[in-house]
C-alpha cells in the first residue's frame, strides 16, 4: 500500500461533495453509496489522506446531515489522520460556487488540491504524482487530465505550443477543430491559493442552469498570462465519476479487481477472481486460499494458511492462522482462533470467540458464545449466550435455551464436559467440569463436576399397542 510519509506544508485538500446526484435516484446522498465496502467519500478521503495534506475540507450540500455524520463517524474507521473540516454549501449552483464558499478554509493554506466527491477510483500514487508534477511546473494551477477514445460530453483541453493549458472547451462550445481533441478535463485541480483568490469571486453564472463553473477560474488565470499545467492520468479509470447505479457497479468491479490483484501479489491464492468479492478494508495473510463465491467484507482480518469457501460470507471478523471455513458458512463480527474449523453450513453470529482448534460443523449456529480450545459443536446445534470450556463435546441437536420470553440467560459448561445428543440446556444453568449429560435430557438445574445428569422420562414399552391392522 502506498503511503506518502512527508507532510506537505501549506497544502490542503478540498473535496466537493455537495451535489444532488439526481441520476442515482436515491434518498441517500451519492457520496454515501458504497463501493467495495466503503462509501464513495471514504475512498476519496483515504487517497487524499495518504498524500499527507495539512488538512482536508469536505463541503456537503444535499442531505448534508447524513453526509456530515458519515464522514465524522467513518474517518477513524477509514484510517484518516489529517484534520477533516466539514462545512455546508449554502447554494448548490456548481463547482465554482462550492469553491467560493470553501475559500475561508482554503485561504488558510498556500496550495489546494480540489477533488470531486464522486471519484472512488482515485489512488494515493496518482494524487502524489499530480502534486509533484504541479510543484515542478512553476504553474499557478494544474489540471488532472486523461486521454479517452470518445471525448463526447467532456470538456476538451486546449494547449499552447509549450504544453500549457489555454482553455477548457465544453462539449456545447466545440468547433470542428476542438471536437477532435481527445484530452479531457477530469474536474480535479491544484491551485496556488493566491492565484485562485484573484479570480474565484469573478466567476459568473453560465449555462441553462445558471451555475458557476470552476473551469472559468482556469480561463481567467490563463487570460491573465499565468501558466496552467496539464497533468495526464496514466489511465482514465482513475478519474471515472459515479453518476448512476450502473457507473457505481462499474466502479465497484474495478475496485474489487484492484484489491484481488493486491492480495494475489502478496501471496494469497484466489481460485476464481471473477467470482470472489473482497472489500477494500480486508486483510489476508500469505498462503491463504479463497474459493469462488466467497464474500469477505468490512474490516475482516484473516491470517496465514487459511482455507476460505466456497460460497462463504465473512464480515468484520478476525481469523487466526490455519483456520478453515467450509462450504456456505456465514461469520459475523467474531474472533476465530488458530486452527479452528467451521462448516459446512455453519452460522457464527456476532460476539462469538473460538479458541484454538475448536470445531463448529454442519448446520450449527453460535451467538455470543465462547468456545474453548479443542471443543466441538459439530452437528445441528444452537449455542447462544454460552461459555464453553476446553475439550467439550456438544452432541448433535443440542440447544441452549437462552431466552425465556423476557430476557437472555447464560449457559456455562466447564472443561471436558460431554453433552449427549438432543439435549436442552435451559439457562441460566452451569455444568461443571468433567460432567456428562445423557442424550435426550432437558437440564434445568446445575450439574456438579464429574457427575452424570439424566433428565428424561423413563421409557415405557406397551407391547401390541400399535399392532398392524389388516
Distance between CA 17 and CA 352 in Å, rounded? 38
Tell me the catalytic residues: 379
Question: Are the beta carbons of 190 and 211 closer than 8 angstroms?
Answer: no
In 3D, which of 114, 99, 189 has the Cα closest to residue 144?
189
Contacts of 354 (CB under 8 A, 6+ apart): 334, 335, 336, 337, 340, 342, 348, 360, 370, 371
Distance between CA 75 and CA 399 in Å, rounded? 41
- pTM, 2 dp: 0.89
Q: Convert 54-67 to b/e letters by CB count within 10 Å (16 or more is b).
A: bbbbbbbbbbbeeb
Distance, C-alpha 96 to centroid of its chain: 31
How confident is the model at residue 158, as a pLDDT?
A: 93
Distance between CA 119 and CA 43 in Å, rounded? 8
How confident is the model at residue 4, as a pLDDT?
A: 46
Distance between CA 408 and CA 418 in Å, rounded? 24
pLDDT in tens, the chain (470 residues): 444 445 677 999 999 998 777 888 998 999 999 999 999 999 999 999 999 999 999 999 878 899 999 999 999 999 999 999 999 988 877 889 999 999 999 999 999 999 999 999 999 999 999 999 999 999 999 999 999 988 888 889 999 999 999 989 888 888 888 989 999 999 999 999 999 999 999 988 877 778 888 999 999 999 999 999 999 998 889 999 999 999 999 999 999 999 999 999 999 999 999 999 999 999 999 999 999 999 999 999 999 999 999 999 999 999 999 999 999 999 999 999 999 999 999 999 999 999 999 999 999 999 999 999 999 999 999 999 999 999 999 999 999 999 999 999 999 999 999 999 999 999 999 999 999 999 999 999 999 999 999 998 888 888 877 666 65
Burial tier of 135 (Cβ tally within 10 Å: 0-12, 13-18, 19+): middle
How confident is the model at residue 469, as a pLDDT?
A: 60
Residue 18 phi/psi, 5° resolution? -105, 5
Supply 267's cell numbers. Answer: 501471496
How confident is the model at residue 172, as a pLDDT?
A: 81
Amino acid at each position: 500500500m502506498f503511503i506518502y510519509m512527508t507532510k506537505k506544508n501549506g497544502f490542503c485538500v478540498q473535496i466537493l461533495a455537495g451535489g444532488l446526484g439526481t441520476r442515482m435516484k436515491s434518498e441517500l446522498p451519492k457520496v454515501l453509496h458504497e463501493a467495495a465496502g466503503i462509501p464513495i467519500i471514504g475512498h476519496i478521503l483515504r487517497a487524499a489522506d495518504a498524500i499527507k495534506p495539512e488538512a482536508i475540507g469536505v463541503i456537503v450540500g444535499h442531505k448534508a446531515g447524513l453526509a456530515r455524520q458519515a464522514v465524522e463517524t467513518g474517518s477513524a474507521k477509514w484510517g484518516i489522520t489529517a484534520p477533516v473540516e466539514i462545512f455546508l454549501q449554502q447554494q448548490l449552483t456548481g463547482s465554482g460556487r462550492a469553491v467560493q464558499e470553501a475559500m475561508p478554509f482554503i485561504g488558510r493554506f498556500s496550495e489546494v488540491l480540489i477533488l470531486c466527491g464522486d471519484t472512488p477510483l482515485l489512488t494515493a500514487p496518482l494524487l502524489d504524482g499530480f502534486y509533484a508534477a504541479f510543484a515542478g511546473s512553476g504553474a499557478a494551477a494544474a489540471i488532472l487530465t486523461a486521454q479517452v477514445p470518445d471525448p463526447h460530453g467532456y470538456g476538451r483541453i486546449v494547449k499552447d505550443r509549450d504544453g500549457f493549458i489555454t482553455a477548457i472547451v465544453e462539449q456545447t462550445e466545440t468547433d470542428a477543430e476542438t471536437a477532435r481533441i481527445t484530452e479531457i478535463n477530469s474536474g480535479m485541480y491544484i491551485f496556488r491559493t493566491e492565484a485562485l483568490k484573484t479570480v474565484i469571486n469573478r466567476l459568473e453564472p453560465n449555462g441553462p442552469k445558471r451555475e458557476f463553473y470552476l473551469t472559468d477560474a482556469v480561463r481567467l488565470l490563463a487570460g491573465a498570462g499565468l501558466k496552467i499545467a496539464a497533468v495526464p492520468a496514466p489511465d482514465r479509470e482513475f478519474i471515472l465519476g459515479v453518476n448512476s447505479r450502473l457507473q457505481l457497479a462499474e466502479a465497484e468491479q474495478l475496485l474489487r479487481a484492484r484489491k484481488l490483484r493486491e492480495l494475489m501479489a502478496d501471496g494469497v491464492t484466489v481460485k476464481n477472481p471473477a467470482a470472489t468479492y473482497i472489500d477494500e478494508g480486508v486483510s489476508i495473510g500469505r498462503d491463504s486460499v479463497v474459493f469462488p463465491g466467497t464474500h469477505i467484507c468490512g474490516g475482516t482480518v484473516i491470517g496465514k494458511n487459511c482455507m476460505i469457501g466456497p460460497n462463504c460470507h465473512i464480515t468484520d471478523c478476525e481469523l487466526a492462522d490455519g483456520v478453515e471455513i467450509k462450504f456456505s458458512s456465514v461469520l459475523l463480527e467474531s474472533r476465530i482462533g488458530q486452527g479452528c474449523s467451521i462448516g459446512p453450513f455453519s452460522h457464527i453470529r456476532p460476539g462469538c470467540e473460538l479458541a484454538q482448534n475448536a470445531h463448529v460443523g454442519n448446520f450449527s449456529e453460535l451467538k455470543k458464545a465462547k468456545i474453548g480450545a479443542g471443543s466441538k459443536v459439530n452437528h445441528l446445534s444452537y449455542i447462544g449466550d454460552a461459555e464453553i470450556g476446553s475439550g467439550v463435546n456438544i452432541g448433535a441437536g443440542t440447544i441452549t435455551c437462552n431466552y425465556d420470553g423476557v430476557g437472555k440467560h447464560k449457559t456455562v459448561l466447564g472443561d471436558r464436559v460431554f453433552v449427549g445428543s438432543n439435549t436442552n440446556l435451559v439457562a441460566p444453568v452451569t455444568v461443571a467440569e468433567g460432567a456428562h449429560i445423557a442424550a435426550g435430557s432437558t437440564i434445568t438445574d446445575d450439574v456438579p463436576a464429574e457427575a452424570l445428569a439424566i433428565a428424561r422420562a423413563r421409557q415405557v414399552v406397551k407391547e401390541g399397542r400399535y399392532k398392524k391392522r389388516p
